[in-house]
Amino acid sequence: MIRPLLTGLAVAVAALSAAGAHAATSASKDEAMAMVKKGVAFIKANGTDKGYAEISNKAGQFTDRDLYLVVYGLDGKCLAHGANPKQIGKDLLDLTDVDGKYFVKERVALAKSKPAGFWQDYKFTNPVSKKIEPKTMYCEKLGDTAVCGGVYK
C-alpha cells in the first residue's frame, strides 16, 4: 500500500518539477508586453539605428530566454530581429506558418487597425527548443512600424 503511494508521489513531484522548469525557461505574456513597451521607449529615446541594433543584438537587453523583439515595417519588411538576423532587411509579407497562415501580412493589417496594441496567434520555431510551437505575439504600432515580442504556449 505504501509503495504505490510513494511511486505516485514521486511521479507527481517529477511532473511538477518539469512544469516549474518549463515556466522558468519560458517568458510570460506580461513579460512580453513589458519588453515591447521597453523596446518602443528605447527606439523613441535613441532613434531607429541604435534601437534596431540593440533589438537585433542576441546578447542585448531585448532578448530573454525564448522572448525577443522583432520590428516590421508596415510594408512587411523586417527591420530588426532578436533571434534571426538573416531575416533583417527581407520582405516577409508572404511568410506563412506551418498551417499556411500569412502571419506577417495579418500582423501588418492588425498594426494598421489596432495601433494601441494587439495579440496575434500563429506557429513559429522556438529558438530555445528548436521546435515549431504555438506562439502568441504582442505588438504595438510605432510610426510606420510594428514592434513585437511573443511567447510560446
Give the pTM.
0.82
DSSP secondary structure string for all residues of 73-88:
ETTSBEEEESS-GGGT
pLDDT lower than 50: segments of the chain: 2-23
Residue 58's pLDDT is: 93
Domain range for residue 84?
27-152
Is 58 a member of any domain? yes
CATH number at residue 114: 3.30.450.20
What pLDDT digit, counting tens, does each position of 30-74 carry? 999 999 999 999 999 999 999 999 999 999 999 999 899 999 999
8-state DSSP, 126: -
Confirm whether 16 is domain-assigned: no
The b-or-e profile of 32-61 (16+ CB within 10 A means b, else e) is: bbebbeebbebbeeeebeebbebbbeeeee
Q: How many domains does the chain have?
A: 1
pLDDT score recorded for residue 24: 58
Whether residue 7 is contained in a domain is answered as no
pLDDT score for 21? 38
Residue 10 inside a domain? The answer is no
Q: What DSSP state is assigned to residue 28?
A: -
